[in-house]
């Protein structure tokens, strides 16, 4: 079960990252182009939010059933173990919180500022996710 969940978490990450990247690019283009926030913009942002939350749930379940799990917390001197057992989960939880804040804040501002909220918070979330992906094990 662990291997299947690990593969699902890895493949779902591609979808979540693509949607998150599209949401950020869409927000940048909308903000710089001074466009009105349309239903398609809402859907792009919403799907990015949903897919990143599903990715978080998959990651948390994976962390719980992992053979390393909490046993690896005593081995923080090893950079690879520290990345997968502490840095990756913690930074990605912070990233998802930022994305969620961006979604919440965009609903409370005038139409011309919606793109700005999505751009800033989703962009910060995307940046955090990208810097804490275990690239060596993900692409290898």
pLDDT tens, position by position, 6-48: 899 989 999 999 999 999 999 999 999 999 999 999 999 999 9
Q: Is the pLDDT at 65 greater than 90, yes or no? A: no
pLDDT tens, position by position, 92-138? 999 999 999 999 999 999 887 999 999 999 999 999 999 988 877 76
Reported as half-sphere exposure (CB side, CA atoms, 13 A), residue 78 has a value of: 8
The pTM score is 0.89
């Amino acid at each position: 079960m662990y291997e299947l969940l690990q593969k699902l978490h890895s493949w779902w990450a591609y979808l979540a990252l693509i949607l998150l990247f599209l949401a950020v690019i869409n927000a940048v283009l909308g903000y710089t182009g001074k466009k009105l926030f349309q239903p398609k913009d809402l859907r792009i942002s919403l799907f990015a939010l949903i897919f990143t939350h599903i990715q978080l749930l998959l990651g948390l379940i994976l962390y719980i059933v992992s053979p390393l799990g909490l046993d690896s917390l005593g081995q923080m001197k090893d950079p690879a173990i520290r990345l997968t057992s502490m840095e990756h989960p913690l930074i990605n939880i912070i990233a998802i919180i930022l994305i969620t804040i961006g979604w919440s804040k965009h609903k409370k501002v005038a139409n011309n500022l919606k793109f700005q909220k999505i751009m800033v918070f989703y962009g910060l979330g995307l940046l955090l996710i990208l810097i804490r992906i275990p690239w060596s094990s993900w692409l290898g």
